[in-house]
């Protein structure tokens, strides 16, 4: 999960939702090509100009990432399979 955040309620709601789902959430001002290339998130959120909660952009079915075995039992399916 990689959200691009602004100082607005929509970004806050998206961030808190990702944390509640126990996703790893690196914050950035925008999702540039470099960030997407380096982190390769399964789901991307781009902050909206109007401050509304952003819609997730699912970049692939399932996950391209393999978690360390000790982390797999602590990650809910909403993050590991999205």
Sketch the domain layout of the chain as residue ranges: 2-62
d(CA 39, CA 82): 15
Task: Check pLDDT > 60 for residue 80.
Answer: no
- The average pLDDT across 65-81 equals 60
Q: Which two tokens stand for residue 17?
A: 């939702």
Confidence of residue 82 (pLDDT cuts 50, 70, 90): very low
pTM, 2 dp: 0.55
Asked whether the predicted pLDDT for residue 74 surpasses 60, the reply is: no
pLDDT digits (tens, 9 = 90+) for 15-51: 888 888 777 777 777 777 887 888 888 888 788 888 8
């Amino acid at each position: 999960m990689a959200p691009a955040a602004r100082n607005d309620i929509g970004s806050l709601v998206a961030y808190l939702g990702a944390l509640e789902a126990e996703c790893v959430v690196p914050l950035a001002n925008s999702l540039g090509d470099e960030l997407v290339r380096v982190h390769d998130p399964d789901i991307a959120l781009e902050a909206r100009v109007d401050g509304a909660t952003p819609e997730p952009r699912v970049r692939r079915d399932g996950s391209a990432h393999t978690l360390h075995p000790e982390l797999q039992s602590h990650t809910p399916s909403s993050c590991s399979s999205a």
